[in-house]
């Protein structure tokens, strides 16, 4: 990239010690990888556009921004993230990292320090519609739902950026498990409700949706799992899969989830999911208008379809002959 050439050449020229007083050449300092020199040049350029000068710590692990204020910025995670991306992504990555460092400089914790951030880690479920996966750390719960790693609490809670998690001595998956453990310690309540003749359980509490991977630790669920509607980050509505009445429950939950999604600003999804063995699968149920009426066309995932078929056979066997 020609943009970095002048800075890279000047820095490379100063990486070798000058000739010693006795006339013999001093030992050359280890040459830094060209990629790191280029990244440093880009960091300096972006810092300048933000109105800051910068100086790098000798090992390259941090830089200090100086200008309207003095801020130390960790670079370990940024360098790791840059190695995973193409050079074309670097300008946006670096600009986002420095802008984020400036925006969060007054936080009472250092998100790049796991000792400080660990107890503040949590997870939130997001509908994967326009979610920029490059700016968050997370994993899919279902095809359209992402469990996002967060740090902070209350109004100060925010998603963790990949460059921050890249500074930690644990993997992103291990950090998510740590966050799930934090969420598991929160208080929640369970209430019974009725949706048009279908019995449901409502799990309510801060971060209730974050407990989806361990739902059976919060509710008594049968071996065939449960239907789930996510009406908000603090509410999960559940119908245990125990009989053929599950077919009617899909309809009731789908209509309920759609209404809540249209009504609430914090609603997560208009869909219904099948929870089983710690995982979620979308139960596709489309509302189709035809001849002035709205019909629900259900297409369950194959494994759940087999469960429904088995429940139907069991129901027929239990029905007494007339």
Confidence at residue 50, expressed as pLDDT on a 0 to 100 scale = 96
Q: What sign does the CA torsion over 296, 301, 306, 308 have?
A: negative
Confidence at residue 5, expressed as pLDDT on a 0 to 100 scale = 38
The per-residue pLDDT string of the chain (322 residues; one tens digit each, 9 = 90 and over) reads: 434 333 444 444 334 344 444 444 445 556 778 888 999 999 999 999 999 999 999 888 999 999 999 999 999 999 999 999 999 999 999 999 999 999 999 999 999 999 999 999 999 888 887 677 678 899 999 888 999 999 998 778 899 999 999 999 999 999 999 998 887 655 678 999 999 899 999 998 877 888 888 889 889 999 999 999 998 888 999 999 999 999 999 999 999 999 999 999 888 899 999 999 989 999 998 878 777 777 788 899 999 999 999 998 876 666 555 4
Nearest CA among 277, 321, 282 for reference residue 301: 282
Phi, psi of 252 (to 5 degrees): -65, -45
Q: How many whole angstroms separate alpha carbon 85 and alpha carbon 98?
A: 17
Q: What sign does the CA torsion over 269, 271, 275, 281 have?
A: negative
- Do 234 and 206 meet the contact criterion of CB atoms below 8 Å apart? yes
- Do 75 and 40 meet the contact criterion of CB atoms below 8 Å apart? no
Residues in the chain: 322
HSE, CB side, 13 Å, CA atoms: give it for residue 40.
Answer: 24
SS3 for the chain is CHHHHHHHHHHHHCCCCCECCCCCECCCCCCCCHHHHHHHHHHHHHHHHCCCEEEECCCCCEEEEECCCCEEEECHHHHHHHHHCCHHHHHHHHHHHHHHHHHCCCCCCCCCCHHHHHHHEEEEEEECCCCCHHHCCEEEEECCEEEEEEECCHHHCEECCHHHHCCCCCCHHHHHHHHHHHHHCCCCEEEEEEECCEEEEEEECCCHHHHHHHHHHCCCCCCCCEEEEEEECCEEEEEECCCCCHHHHHHHHHHHHHHHHHHCCCCCCCCEEEEECCEEEEEEEEEEEECCEEEEEEECCHHHHHHHHHHHHHHHHHCCCC
Distances, alpha carbon 149 to alpha carbons 85, 218, 257, in Å: 21, 21, 24
Chain centre distance of CA 116: 19
Q: How many whole angstroms separate alpha carbon 198 and alpha carbon 193?
A: 8
Query: Which single residue is written with the structure tokens 């994967």?
Result: 128
pTM, full prediction = 0.79
Confidence at residue 169, expressed as pLDDT on a 0 to 100 scale = 96
- The CA-to-CA distance between both ends of the chain, in Å, stands at 83
Number of other residues whose CB lies within 10 A of the CB of residue 243: 15
Q: How many whole angstroms separate alpha carbon 86 and alpha carbon 31?
A: 22
Confidence at residue 130, expressed as pLDDT on a 0 to 100 scale = 64
How do 279-290 and 272-276 pair as beta strands?
Answer: antiparallel
Q: How many whole angstroms separate alpha carbon 36 and alpha carbon 39?
A: 5
Confidence at residue 29, expressed as pLDDT on a 0 to 100 scale = 52
* CB within 8 Å of 185: residues ≥ 6 apart: none
């Amino acid at each position: 990239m020609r943009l970095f050439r002048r800075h890279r050449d000047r820095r490379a020229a100063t990486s070798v010690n000058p000739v010693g007083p006795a006339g013999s050449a001093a030992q050359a300092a280890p040459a830094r990888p060209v990629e790191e020199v280029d990244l440093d040049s880009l960091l300096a350029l972006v810092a300048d556009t933000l109105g800051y000068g910068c100086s790098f710590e000798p090992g390259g692990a941090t830089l200090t921004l100086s200008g309207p204020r003095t801020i130390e910025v960790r670079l370990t995670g940024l360098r790791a993230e840059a190695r995973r991306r193409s050079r074309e992504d670097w300008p946006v990555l670096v600009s986002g990292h420095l802008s984020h460092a400036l925006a969060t400089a007054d936080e009472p914790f250092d998100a790049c320090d796991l000792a400080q951030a660990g107890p503040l880690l949590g997870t939130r479920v997001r509908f994967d519609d326009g979610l920029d996966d490059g700016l968050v750390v997370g994993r899919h719960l279902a095809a359209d739902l992402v469990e996002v790693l967060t740090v902070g609490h209350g109004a100060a809670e925010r998603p963790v950026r990949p460059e921050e998690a890249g500074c930690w001595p644990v993997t992103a998956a291990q950090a998510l498990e740590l966050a799930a453990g934090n969420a598991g310690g929160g208080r929640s309540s369970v209430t019974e409700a009725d949706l048009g003749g279908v019995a449901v359980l409502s799990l309510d509490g801060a971060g209730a949706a974050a407990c989806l991977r361990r739902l059976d630790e919060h509710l008594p669920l049968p071996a065939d799992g449960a239907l789930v509607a996510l009406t908000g980050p603090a509410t999960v509505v559940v119908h245990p899969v125990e009989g053929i009445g599950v077919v009617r429950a899909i309809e009731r939950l789908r209509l309920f989830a759609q209404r809540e999604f249209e009504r609430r600003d914090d609603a997560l999804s208009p869909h219904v999911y099948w929870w089983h063995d710690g995982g979620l699968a979308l139960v596709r149920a489309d509302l189709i208008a035809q001849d002035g009426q709205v019909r629900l066309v259900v297409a369950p995932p194959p494994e759940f379809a087999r469960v429904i078929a088995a429940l139907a056979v069991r129901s027929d066997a239990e029905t007494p002959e007339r």
